[in-house]
Structure 1
Amino acid sequence: MISEHASPLATQGGVDSGGQNVYVAYLARELARCGHSVDVFTRRDSPDLPRVVQCARNLRVIHVRGGPEQAIPKEALLPWMTEFSEEVLGWCRAQAEPYDVVHANFFMSGLAALRLRDELGLPFVITFHALGKVRRAHQGKADAFPEARLDIEQQLVRQADRIIAECPQDRQDLITHYAADPARIDVVPCGVNIAELGFGDGLSRDRLGLPEDAFVILQLGRLVPRKGIDNVILALSHLRHQLGIDATLLVVGGESALPDPVRTPEIARLGAIAASASVADRVIFTGRRARADLRDYYCAANVFVTTPWYEPFGITPLEAMACARPVIGAAVGGITHTVVNNVTGYLVPPRDPIALADRLARLHADPVRAQAFGHAGLQRVRRLFTWKKVAEALIPVYGAVCASPAADTLDAARMKAASV
């Protein structure tokens, strides 16, 4: 597996640390648990990182060079991908036993995968996690990725052996915007570790210092503008000042364990919005939290809210559902696939704080309905969205790629590479 900017060892919640990190980490572990040998290649962003980390039986994370050994925004990494690809290629060439298949994550990892196929004959599948054309349509000039991303993605769509779409909307976007061949797309969602999440012990609020009678709204994940946290703050203001409902918003995430507006500028922006909306005293920024702590935050909340403008999939709604929390999500992208309106929560338009406040008020007024939504979400996650089910769906895709007619040509390339 290749995941150039999203290390499976990173703590969730930073600007460039979110759903992709979780996807790679838990999928790799589940594949290893199934008996497959998995190496995950990711960029070395600190000189203190060891070359190889043995994470579990059959699973290693390999740090390779790709530019300066420091944190670099993913939007600025493309110039370093040639070096990154060379490093991955060098490692693969040195192995006594060749890999069978490459799973690239994100378009820049796809460049390395293309190099491995050209030089070593390795077939590859790719999960894009986000698509440049769709992102640009939603973010416009705020999208800082280089223009070259669009051409690279188009090339990868044409040349990947298989494409993994994370939800039906992702599949449709690939077909509509990139003319992808529907026969080469497999829809396989993200998952949740239901052993790590789930029902709490009833003491979550005590541990977090939250009053038992508070109505708590949770927003958790990367703190970037497109996540629409400003929309939640404005909904909180409407809830409090127009509907007369007191509530507290927990905002979990950031670049450090303390809510530092210097290291996480989005905290400063959101804090200013909260102040202008007269709810600064009801918005609590917690900073980044380790995954082991997340269950308490989910279980302490009355409702989980996520209203991004654009979301290719979104793992946090599933995590909240795994903790039996009702979810209010924006009716965009993968959220429309995971959250079932009026069954596991509500779907609302993005950037519509009035609609969001209305649904929050409904849950506040009807805790029995909120509990029913939470239990329905838990059952949906257990039925469809465990990492075990994700791995079981992907393993046949890997096998089909290795056994496809094109594999004969790739075998010839392998023999040529072995003779060099």
Structure 2
Amino acid sequence: MPMAAVEPRRVAMISVHTSPLEQPGTGDAGGLNVYVAETARELAARGIEVDIFTRRTTGETPVEADLVPGVRVRHVTAGPYEGLAKEDLPGQLCAFSAGIMQAGLSVPEDHYDLVHSHYWLSGQVGWLAADRWRVALVHTMHTMARVKNLHLADGDPPEPRGREIGEVQVVEAADRLIANTDDEARELIELYAAPPAKVSVVPPGVDLTTFTPGDRREARRALGLPVDGELLLFVGRIQPLKAPDVLLRVAGELLRRDPARRERLTVAVLGGPSGSGLTRPHELEELARGLGIDDVVRFVRPVARPVLAQWYRAADLVLVPSHSESFGLVAIEAQACGTPVVAAHVGGLPTAVGDAGVLVDGHATPAWADAVESLLRDDRRRLALGSAAVSHAAQFGWGATTDRLLEVYQQAIRERANGTNESPIDEGQSLVGVPTAVIP
């Protein structure tokens, strides 16, 4: 007889390099921040306490802060507050781990029921914390070095060998691995030799109360944009991996094909420099000038989520041209607002976009311009895709994500208590010839 479900009472989440309190869209803050914050909120709504451990990056940052009741963000001092890039943080993992161990001394030994680490740096720390507290370790990669290195943008440096080694160690140490999509599960198995029975597919979600359909003209008025005309939008961190240059090149090609379009076209890039983009912070502005389109391009700093939703509603199309994407929260947010997405056919974007958008193979400007131009010309198809997008996004609420996540937590706790490796929750499709744990 299987053991009864073991509901966690307290969960320690670890996000070393970026805090859920930070504004997504610049620096190292992005989809991971949203994932951690939203799942923690949902867990707290179910009566599960969550402590999120992250690195302190300013002297003004409080040692502890409540995200919502039941979710406490604990800032750990590890290295200088400022001036450390994500690539420098492996040298601070010992200090960060010591800070977590020190925090653990203030609570009973059995305080935490499970550790959930996010990104490989956190996985290294989570490995130690879970071992020290004798609890299960659940890990979400979010991105993987070997996957990114297979899909590098031109001029983007490869991820270092040290990260690959660290990721392999986390895969071996974790009791459970969370993949966003079936493709990511396959990559964990094929590229990292993850045991299939340890891998569970749990798609991320979208805030369906904030990202909702609305009147496009009213959204444009609220943002001070031309009410009529065409608006193409990119949202995300400005770095080669996210390929925002594709949007500018597409705009240049559209204007070359139809110079009269300049009177009605607006191109918006919403985000801030990140990663290798920090070394060339003005590259996109220079590209816009070089293409002769700087008069139609607007560069917008990251904004709060309600305002971001207005940008999605205002756009005719949202472009997500990333070279690698584990899921693509921007795509699902845009679709929840009723805006069709044109996305690269990579990583988790086919899952995020589904049949409610257009996927483009490669990053060649003519192919992207053809896809965008055909949708701008066909109002009926674009509106139909927008309607389908809302229905598609409705499947991905954070509540559903957290329900599935809790099943993985319960299984990891049971396995740790039994000292066994249970069969998958549900036998999903065969990946490289063997079943993977797929949460339906």
Q: Please state if 1:228 is matched with 2:239.
A: no
Between the two proteins, the alignment pairs up a number of residues equal to 400
Give the TM-score taking structure 2 as reference length: 0.87
Q: Deviations over 1:205-248 (max 9, x none)?
A: 11212112120001011111111111111111111112444422
TM-score, structure 1 length as denominator? 0.91
| 398, 408, 417: which one aligns with 1:397 | 408
Find the counterpart in structure 2 of residue 353 from structure 1. Answer: 365
Matches within 5 A, 1:272-287: 272-287=286-301
Q: Give the conservation status (yes or no) of the 8 Å contact 1:11–1:291.
A: no
Q: What is the aligned partner in structure 1 of residue 389 from structure 2?
A: 377
Aligned to 2:269: 251
Q: Is the 8 A contact 1:102 1:124 kept in 2?
A: yes
Instruction: Tell me the equivalent position of 2:398.
Output: 387
Q: CA, structure 1 residues 199+374, in 2 after alignment: closer, same or farther (shift >3 Å)?
A: same
Partner in structure 1 of residue 233 of structure 2: 218
Aligned twin of 2:334: 320
2:21·2:67 contact (CA, 8 Å) conserved in 1?
A: no
2: CA distance, partners of 1:388 / 1:320: 19
In structure 2, how many angstroms separate the alpha carbons of the residues matched to 1:353 and 1:275?
Answer: 17
Is 1:240 matched up with 2:255? yes
Q: Of residues 205, 210, 221 in structure 2, which corresponds to 1:206?
A: 221
Give the structure 1 partner of residue 48 of structure 2: 36
Q: Decide whether aligned partners of structure 1 residues 305 and 272 sit closer, same or farther in structure 2, where only a CA change above 3 A counts.
A: same
Distance 1:242 1:285 in 2: 24
**Corresponding position of 1:12:** 24
Rate the CA distance shift 1:265–1:282 in 2: closer, same or farther, 3 A: farther
SS of 1:203's partner is: helix
Assess, with a 3 A threshold, how the Cα gap between structure 1 residues 252 and 266 changes in structure 2: closer, same or farther: farther
Residue 200 of structure 1 deviates from its aligned partner by 2.6
Paired position in structure 2 for 1:293:
307
Shift of 1:349: 2.0
1:323-382 deviation digits (Å, cap 9, x = unpaired): 000000000001011112xx3110002321111111111111111211111111111111
1:59 aligns with 2:77: no
Does 2:324 match 1:310? yes
| Offset, 1:407 | 2.5
Supply the AA of the counterpart residue of 2:134. G
Shift of 1:147: 2.2
Residue 288 (structure 1) shift? 2.0
Q: CA RMSD in A?
A: 1.9
Please state whether the residue corresponding to 2:183 is helix, strand or coil.
helix
Is there any run of 5+ residues in structure 1 with no aligned partner, and where?
A: 257-262, 411-420
3-state DSSP of counterpart to 1:193: coil
Alpha-carbon distance, 1:189 to partner: 1.1
Change (3 A) 1:267 1:146: closer
Which digits, 9 at most, give the CA deviation of each residue in 1:231-289, with x for residues without a partner?
A: 11111111111244442210001169xxxxxx966551111111111111111101221
What corresponds to 2:113 in structure 1? 100
Query: For residues 326 and 30 of structure 1, what CA distance do their matches in structure 2 show?
Result: 28
Contact 2:336 2:389 in 1 (8 A): yes
Amino acid at match of 1:49: T
Change (3 A) 1:216 1:265: farther
2:188 is aligned with 1:178: no
2:151 counterpart SS class: helix
Instruction: Give 1:203 shift.
Output: 1.7
Partner SS, residue 355 of structure 1: helix
Q: 2:138 aligns to what? A: 125
Asked if 1:50 is matched to 2:62, the reply is yes
Q: 2:94 aligns with which of 82, 86, 108?
A: 82
